[in-house]
Amino acid sequence: MTNFDNPWATPAPEKLSWLTPDIAAALLAKNYPVNQDGMLMLWKDTEAALKQAKELEMEYRKICVAFLVPAKTEGTTNVELGGGYIAKAVTKFNYKLKDNDAVDKALDKIAKVGNQGAFIAERLVSWTPNFLKTEYTTLQEEAEKGSQDAKAILEIVNSEMLVITDAAPSLEIKPPKAKK
**How does residue 23 score in pLDDT terms, banded at 50, 70 and 90?**
very high
Say what the pTM is.
Answer: 0.61
On whether the CB atoms of residues 8 and 37 are closer than 8 A, the answer is yes
- Beta bridge partners of residue 110, listed in sequence order: none
Q: What is the pLDDT of residue 2?
A: 46
pLDDT of residue 52: 97
Asked if residue 14 has pLDDT above 80, the reply is no
The domain segmentation of the chain, as residue ranges, is 16-91
**Helix 148-156 vs helix 133-144: angle between axes, to the nearest 10 degrees?**
130
Model confidence band, residue 171 (pLDDT cutoffs 50, 70, 90): low
Query: Mean per-residue pLDDT for 152-161?
Result: 90
Per-residue pLDDT tens over the stretch 28-67:
999 999 998 999 999 999 999 999 999 999 999 999 999 8
What percent of the chain stands above pLDDT 70?
A: 90
Burial class (CB in 10 A: 0-12, 13-18, 19+), 123: exposed
What pLDDT shows up at residue 17? Answer: 79
Residue type at 132 in one-letter notation: L
| Rounded CA separation 18/33 (Å) | 14
Whole-number pLDDT of residue 1? 45
CA distance 51 to 172: 13
pLDDT tens digits, 111-143: 999 888 998 999 899 888 888 899 999 999 999
Residue 19 has pLDDT above 80, yes or no: yes
How confident is the model over 91-107, as a mean pLDDT? 90
